[in-house]
Amino acid sequence: MVVEQTHVLISYNDRKNAVLDQDYEVARQLASTLQQKGIVAQIKGYSATALDSTDIQWFIFVYSPAMRQSAYMVDIVNAACDLVVNRHMRGILAVTADAADLPIEWASIRKYDASDPTENVAEGILRAMRSTKAPYTKTQERTWNQSQRV
C-alpha cells in the first residue's frame, strides 16, 4: 500500500525585527513537530511565499498585522482559500504568535493561538489535518437520463 506524504507550507513574517523573530520561532517549532509526525513541512517568509507547487496540500500562515498590510500576502491567502474551495488543496490554517484576531474576511479560517499555554497548537493542527476530507483528484461528470428518475 502506498501512503501519500502530506506537504505543508508554513509562512511567517520575515521582516527583520526582534518582535517578529517570535513569528519565525512559532513557524520553526510547528514545522519541527509536523516533521516528527512524517509531514513534509517547509517554512518561507512572507516575501518568499508562493503557492506554485502542486505538492502543497496545506497552507499555514503565522498571522501578524503586517500581513494585512501586504497586498501580496492578502492575495496569497485569498488564492489559498480558492484552491481549498476548488479542492486543489486540503486546507488553510492560521497561527498567531499573540492573541490577535484575523480580519473578518478570513473568519472561516481556523486559527490557533500559540501564545496561549493551554492550547497545543501542533496537536490542534494535526487533528484538523486528520478530520479534513481529501480533495477530489478529478471532477466527476454526472449525466442524467430517464432511468434515474425517482
pLDDT in tens, 49-85: 998 777 899 999 999 888 888 899 999 999 999 999 9
Residue tagged 509562512 (cell numbers): 11
- pTM across the whole model: 0.82
Amino acid at 81: C
Amino acid at 119: E
Give the pLDDT confidence of 43-57 residue by residue, as tens digits.
999 988 998 777 899
CB burial of residue 150 (10 Å; 0-12, 13-18, 19+): exposed
Q: Coil, strand or helix: which one is 129?
A: helix
| Distance, CA of 45 to CA of 2 (rounded, Å) | 32
Pairing, β 7-12 against β 91-96: unpaired
